Chains A and B, each alone.
Chain A
């Protein structure tokens, strides 16, 4: 087999500066949100439990949206693909609500 004949010439395109810049911006946002989470963990007193927990949850969702949307490119896929992935997440939300509710009920019985 003539290996050299099979070697195809590859055209390397130049880096997409715009896109790379955008990716680093997303990385920066993720880093900043993590720093804010740290600030909340240390500066907001534990007595304000609800404020702490909801800030953490909100920021986690924002981070998740950036990772899935930009890094995993889901935001730029076709709408059908995007919703096929996002809609089943409602089952997770249901499970979360049901289980935590149930957990508190178990706690009440135990105490």
Chain B
């Protein structure tokens, strides 16, 4: 690096495009992250909407909720499938566990946005703290999901669930469960890795030397998007 050339330090949290003009008043990386997330939204929509198509093409359960039994003849009521929580075997607690997972993900979204806020005022210690909480939230969510999958696959009956058949309803039901929550879970997993990378770079002072914490904002956008997708998965897979 030449010591004679003046180093232009942009305002905290702001970077400029090479041409010196920032279209839409956003940095290149941030804009591209937005467009990537838009395309990712299409992918998730395709999965969820196809779930809607396949579900509405199957027969719905007509009887009362109290008398509901699992059958291949109709689509199951989700709250009857997801009614278990760890350490309380046999307890019927519909949707409680998935509610806890939703809460964990919302909280980790809050800690992420607090990390972004801290980065914009160059507070390294605060960024480290909030990134750690965010990573912890992500790991908690993934652990919950691992338990949920295990419970779903083993099941309470003899069959459990796999891609070919399941004890809860038509094969498509389990297929969509694996693909939608699996695809989302993989996003969470990648998000945890990216968050760790940002945490590592913060601790080693990479962003402090760079003069801005924009990486935190970009990865933050991704992390909020993962939370956003979960809001939709929660509604359309578990509630409706």
Given known contacts A103-B55, A104-B57, is B103 in contact with A31 (CB within 8 Å)? yes
Closest-by-CB residue of B relative to A68 is B228
A109 vs B223: C-alpha distance when bound (angstroms) = 42
* Interface residue B182 (Cβ < 8 Å from any Cβ of A): no
**Interchain CB contact under 8 A, A13 and B121:** yes
A95 to chain B, nearest CB (A): 5
**Interchain CB contact under 8 A, B42 and A92:** yes
Given known contacts A27-B110, A41-B95, A67-B227, is B34 in contact with A103 (CB within 8 Å)? no
Question: For residue B118, which residues in chain A have a CB less than 8 angstroms away from its CB?
Answer: 15
A interface majority secondary structure:
helix
A34 vs B117: C-alpha distance when bound (angstroms) = 25
Contact with B along A44-58 (1 / 0, CB 8 A): 011000001100110
B interface majority secondary structure:
helix
Mark B residues whose CB is within 8 Å of A.
12, 24-26, 31, 34, 38, 41-42, 45-46, 49-50, 52-59, 64-65, 77, 79, 94-95, 99, 102-103, 106-107, 109-110, 112-114, 117-118, 121-124, 126, 208-209, 211, 220-221, 224-225, 227-228, 231-232, 234-236, 239-240
**Interchain CB contact under 8 A, B228 and A67:** yes
Given known contacts A34-B99, A67-B224, is B52 in contact with A96 (CB within 8 Å)? yes
Number of A-B contacts (CB under 8 A): 147
A100 to chain B, nearest CB (A): 5
Contact sample, A vs B, 6 pairs, CB 8 Å cutoff? A41-B239, A71-B113, A72-B228, A92-B42, A96-B49, A99-B52
Given known contacts A56-B239, A81-B24, is B54 in contact with A46 (CB within 8 Å)? no
Q: Apart from A81-B31, A81-B34, A107-B58, list 15 A-B contacts with CB within 8 A.
A: A13-B122, A16-B117, A23-B110, A34-B99, A37-B239, A46-B77, A56-B235, A57-B235, A60-B235, A68-B228, A71-B110, A71-B224, A81-B26, A88-B38, A91-B42
A57 vs B94: C-alpha distance when bound (angstroms) = 20
A62 to chain B, nearest CB (A): 10
A65 vs B205: C-alpha distance when bound (angstroms) = 34
* Interface residue A12 (Cβ < 8 Å from any Cβ of B): yes
A107 vs B60: C-alpha distance when bound (angstroms) = 10
A34 vs B107: C-alpha distance when bound (angstroms) = 13
Question: For residue B65, which residues in chain A have a CB less than 8 angstroms away from its CB?
Answer: 45-46
**Interchain CB contact under 8 A, A60 and B232:** yes
**Interchain CB contact under 8 A, B57 and A103:** yes
* A-B complex: 8 closest residue pairs judged by Cβ atoms: A13-B121, A103-B56, A103-B53, A106-B57, A81-B24, A99-B53, A60-B235, A27-B110
**Interchain CB contact under 8 A, B103 and A92:** no
B82 to chain A, nearest CB (A): 11
Which residues of A in the span 19-41 have a Cβ within 8 Å of any Cβ on B? 19-20, 23-24, 27, 30-31, 34, 37-38, 41
**Interchain CB contact under 8 A, A72 and B57:** no
